[in-house]
Structure 1
Amino acid sequence: MKAVLEQDYASKKKKNKFLHNIKRDKWLFALLLLPLAYILIFRYAPIYGVVMAFQDYNIFAGIKRSEWVGMDVFQFIFQQDSFYRALKNTLLLNVYDLIAGFPAPIILAILLNEVRAAKFKKITQTVLYLPHFLSWVIIGGMVYLMFSNSGMVNTFLANLGLAKIEFLSQKVPWLMTYISVGVWQQIGWGTIIYLAAMTGINKELYEASDIDGCSRLRKVWHITLPGIKSTINILLILQIGRMVSIGFDRPFVMGNSLVSDYSDVISTFVYRVGISSGDFSQATAVGLFQSVVGLILLIGANYIAKKLGEDGIW
């Protein structure tokens, strides 16, 4: 009896404390309502539409009255050569992005962290962040003006008496252009996270290393990199979890019919079969496939990181 009373008392005390916290911080909780509503409406509510992946969806009949076909849609997708081509291109482009794009903001953040001129550092950071806020439509126009056959780069090469390079119509030059432009667009934004992580490193470690006569390179290797290792691990795990997902804007804007064998990815495949052809069941099934595989990769990467003794995301 005494144990029951003590449990009831503890429960009431916990409830009263929760209500007290809400009353005390009511305006802070009110600020959460808008992002919470956004997540519920645009992230969780659309999950109901996943049902379309198992239906012969008819836009006029709606989800409730469309015919249920089970796994037939997935079987049809997995029999298409164009799906496997899109999947292969998605994985390859993401691997190239991981190899070239993941270390780039780390290196840039370390270089900026070593800059002592505060004004120069702020100006450089601002310039590097700007490309992130440009639309891919604008960037695509810039790429065309720079790298097309009559663009600035090829005009410059022609003036030097050199042969033109087919940046936007041949496989290897297009891949190099695609990856380079992606790194340029994202490097400044990724740097913010690593610079923020570096501010949490104990400054006394640098002071002690100065006393010991360490060079800048040794301080970077033995203090800065270990100090941001957990951040690197988390971002790497998240990047691996997105290996089968890819944005629509970049491959769609930079791709063309001459390089469609390399630029056609899952997002453009979904656009082609879901929007252009009106087959929403296929588009939903491919999206569900991406989500499931991405979740498996995320869990696997986190598990491996934990087994290696590194920090995971949970």
Structure 2
Amino acid sequence: MLDFLKKNYFLYILLAPALILTLIFKYVPMYGAIIAFKDFSPIKGIMGSDWVGLKHFEKFLNSPNFDVIFMNTLKLSFFGLIFSFPVPILLALMLNQIRKTSVKKNVQLFLYAPNFISVVVIVGMLFIFLSPTGPINQIVSGITGKPLMFMSEPEYFRWIYILSDIWQAAGWSSIIYVAALAGVDPELHHAASLDGANLLQRIRNIDLPTIRPIMAIVFILAAGGIMSIGFEKAYLMQTSMNLPASEIIATYVYKVGLQSGDYAYSAAVGLFNSVINVVLLLTVNFIVKKLNEGEGLY
């Protein structure tokens, strides 16, 4: 073991900064999670505050808003995963069929560009395009005679969030699949074509098996973070009218923790959310390994 370390010490030196940053920003902050079990007071500090056990968790589970907040988070995450997961795969398969390099690069640039637009700008665009006098409602008004309140009605919030998310992230998310497909030997496609296989048959029997392990890992990670929706976009899209659909755990933690100053309670809610994510990660990984011939995240 010592000989191995001596021979490869330079690799460990390269690895050290990443490990140190992970310890500082990922593991050390876990110490603060204990305030979820305390009646935290900034004056007394974390260690000086009194223990209250599971009081804050019980308060959240018994709160009248729990069912709405939990289901909003679950629905937004679940539908987002179901509808957004296949899109990068389809984009990668289509990009892989473009043979002219210049055309492929231009298409990729067009698909990747939305990823570099900030969430604030995206939400601002949504409010402009979907406003009662915006271009979308001008078309709707021309057909139905009246505009639709897209950003005010709760029933529209979830689909606007998901579809705009797909538009912004699908192109960038397809990069990993495009990279994997680049490693497919063209001779396999050529041989399959000589045997009479059409395009769909070649995709099903050559391309999809190549990216299947990556698909499994991406799906497990996505399912493991199913309760961790981005706070910024949901909060920016919130209005007083769409709160029944837009209030999720992340926005609730922000309002209770930072706006109301109840840090211990908000920490308990956040920890509850994290525990669910871990359970989902382990469960989905177990299921995928069973269905995918032992291939999973670990």
What count of residue pairs does the alignment treat as equivalent? 297
User: Residue 6 of structure 1 aligns with which residue?
Assistant: none
Q: Per the alignment, do residues 77 and 199 of structure 1 end up closer, same or farther by CA in structure 2, a change over 3 Å counting?
A: same
Asked if the contact 1:83/1:266 (under 8 Å) is kept, the reply is no
**Do structure 1's residue 205 and structure 2's residue 192 form an aligned pair?**
no
User: CA–CA distance in 1 between the matches of 2:29 and 2:5?
Assistant: 31
**Do structure 1's residue 293 and structure 2's residue 276 form an aligned pair?**
yes
- How far off its partner does 1:94 sit? 0.8
Matches within 5 A, 1:29-44: 29-44=12-27
Asked if the contact 1:194/1:228 (under 8 Å) is kept, the reply is yes
User: CA–CA distance in 1 between the matches of 2:284 and 2:79?
Assistant: 18
Give the aligned residue type for 2:152.
S
User: Residue 304 of structure 1 aligns with which residue?
Assistant: 287
Structure 1, 59-68 or 212-221: larger mean CA deviation: 212-221
User: CA–CA distance in 1 between the matches of 2:159 and 2:270?
Assistant: 28
Q: Whose radius of gyration is greater, 1 or 2?
A: 1
SS class of match (2:133): coil
User: CA–CA distance in 2 between the matches of 1:144 and 1:265?
Assistant: 20
Asked if the contact 1:83/1:269 (under 8 Å) is kept, the reply is no
- How far off its partner does 1:279 sit? 0.7
**Structure 1 vs Structure 2 CA RMSD:** 1.6
User: CA–CA distance in 1 between the matches of 2:190 and 2:202?
Assistant: 10
Deviations 1:11-49 (A, max 9, x none): xxx312311221xxx3x5444333222211110110000
Of 73, 79, 94 in structure 1, the residue corresponding to residue 77 of structure 2 is 94
User: CA–CA distance in 1 between the matches of 2:102 and 2:161?
Assistant: 32
Deviations 1:107-152 (A, max 9, x none): 1111111112211111111121121122111111111111111222
- How far off its partner does 1:159 sit? 5.2
**Do structure 1's residue 21 and structure 2's residue 4 form an aligned pair?**
no
- How far off its partner does 1:74 sit? 0.9
**Do structure 1's residue 313 and structure 2's residue 293 form an aligned pair?**
no
User: Residue 210 of structure 2 aligns with which residue?
Assistant: 227
Asked if the contact 2:227/2:277 (under 8 Å) is kept, the reply is yes
- How far off its partner does 1:160 sit? 6.1
Matches within 5 A, 1:166-205: 166-205=149-188
User: CA–CA distance in 2 between the matches of 1:229 and 1:284?
Assistant: 37
- Return 5+ residue gaps in structure 1 as ranges: 1-13
Matches within 5 A, 1:42-61: 42-61=25-44
User: CA–CA distance in 1 between the matches of 2:255 and 2:284?
Assistant: 31
User: Residue 239 of structure 2 aligns with which residue?
Assistant: 256
User: CA–CA distance in 2 between the matches of 1:192 and 1:35?
Assistant: 23
User: CA–CA distance in 2 between the matches of 1:133 and 1:309?
Assistant: 34
User: CA–CA distance in 2 between the matches of 1:171 and 1:105?
Assistant: 28
Structure 1, 279-288 or 202-211: larger mean CA deviation: 202-211
User: CA–CA distance in 2 between the matches of 1:41 and 1:172?
Assistant: 42
- How far off its partner does 1:179 sit? 1.3
User: CA–CA distance in 1 between the matches of 2:78 and 2:157?
Assistant: 16
User: CA–CA distance in 2 between the matches of 1:299 and 1:278?
Assistant: 33
Structure 1, 172-181 or 67-76: larger mean CA deviation: 172-181
**Do structure 1's residue 81 and structure 2's residue 64 form an aligned pair?**
yes
Q: Per the alignment, do residues 213 and 17 of structure 1 end up closer, same or farther by CA in structure 2, a change over 3 Å counting?
A: same
SS class of match (1:81): coil
User: CA–CA distance in 2 between the matches of 1:231 and 1:17?
Assistant: 31
Deviations 1:67-118 (A, max 9, x none): 1111111111111122331111010001110121111111111111111221
SS class of match (1:80): coil
- How far off its partner does 1:161 sit? 6.9
Of 141, 150, 157 in structure 1, the residue corresponding to residue 133 of structure 2 is 150
Asked if the contact 2:77/2:229 (under 8 Å) is kept, the reply is yes
Asked if the contact 1:241/1:297 (under 8 Å) is kept, the reply is yes
Q: Per the alignment, do residues 17 and 32 of structure 1 end up closer, same or farther by CA in structure 2, a change over 3 Å counting?
A: closer
- Return 5+ residue gaps in structure 2 as ranges: none
Give the aligned residue type for 1:148.
S
Normalising by structure 2, report the TM-score. 0.95
Give the aligned residue type for 1:280.
Y
User: CA–CA distance in 2 between the matches of 1:36 and 1:138?
Assistant: 34
User: CA–CA distance in 2 between the matches of 1:153 and 1:45?
Assistant: 48
Normalising by structure 1, report the TM-score. 0.90
SS class of match (1:257): coil
